[in-house]
Chain A
Amino acid sequence: NAGVTQTPKFQVLKTGQSMTLQCAQDMNHEYMSWYRQDPGMGLRLIHYSVGAGITDQGEVPNGYNVSRSTTEDFPLRLLSAAPSQTSVYFCASSYQPGSTDTQYFGPGTRLTVL
């Protein structure tokens, strides 16, 4: 199993550009989520999905869109990048949304918006 994979590892954008951060998992996990990590802020939940076709907002959803057409993939879209979106983005998955279920994180995407 590859676990949770994220592409790209690094990305530089100009303000106003759009892009999609890819996330895939091969563990047949129902629950997937996106976090961003900023200095002094820890990890904050952006969007999450409890299964294919179902998504919901987390703590900091503004400026981001998601969709979940398959169990395996959960892309994160930035429609019009802003410098405030400069961050490290982590995708995570777990078998089912339960408090005792471990979330597995991908290696992260480091995004810089100029």
Chain B
Amino acid sequence: DQQVKQNSPSLSVQEGRISILNCDYTNSMFDYFLWYKKYPAEGPTFLISISSIKDKNEDGRFTVFLNKSAKHLSLHIVPSQPGDSAVYFCAALYGGATNKLIFGTGTLLAVQP
């Protein structure tokens, strides 16, 4: 049972436009959400996160929005650049003594020049 879902396996966007990556979750106990970016043959790298007590977090070109009532979060990249082309993983976490990240299946973003 997939607790964190990324229903779009891939997304193609023109350079300079907005990229919107979506993520849905089922477990209402999740209290922290993260986005990771992964290039081929490399490990995932942390991109941006948001606590469940917030509905928006912004870091440069990257903004994450959280809608708790809908159990939905999204990552906005504005403007998109070719170097943003990668697989993006949404991950969720619930409280406790350990980091037990639950990952989504990933979305492959292709930014066309």
Contact = CB atoms under 8 A, between A and B. Distances in A.
A94 B103 contact: no
Given A100-B49, A105-B45, A50 B89 contact: no
DSSP majority for the B interface?
loop
Interface in A10-58: 31, 33, 35, 40-45, 48, 50, 56, 58
Contacts, number: 65
A45 B100 contact: yes
B32 A99 contact: yes
Contact of B100 (A40, A42, A58, A100): A58
B104 to A, nearest CB: 5
Interface residues on B, range: 20 to 34
A107 interface: yes
Contacts of B103: 35, 42-44
Contact of B42 (A58, A102, A108): A108
Contact of A43 (B42, B44, B51): B44
A67 interface: no
Interface string A69-103: 00000000000000000000010101001111111
Contact of A101 (B43, B99, B100): B99
Nearest to B31: A99
A4 B43 contact: yes
B98 interface: yes
Best-buried of A43, A45, A99 by chain B (most CB within 10 Å): A99
A108 B31 CA distance: 28
Interface of B: 4, 6, 31-32, 36, 41-46, 49, 51, 89, 91, 93, 95, 97-106
Given A94-B99, A102-B46, 20 more contacts: A4-B43, A42-B4, A42-B6, A43-B44, A43-B103, A45-B101, A48-B98, A59-B102, A97-B99, A98-B99, A99-B32, A99-B51, A99-B93, A99-B99, A100-B32, A100-B49, A103-B101, A105-B44, A107-B43, A108-B43
21 contacts: A31-B99, A35-B103, A42-B89, A42-B103, A43-B89, A48-B100, A50-B97, A50-B98, A56-B98, A58-B100, A59-B102, A90-B43, A97-B97, A99-B32, A99-B95, A102-B46, A104-B46, A105-B44, A106-B43, A107-B43, A108-B42
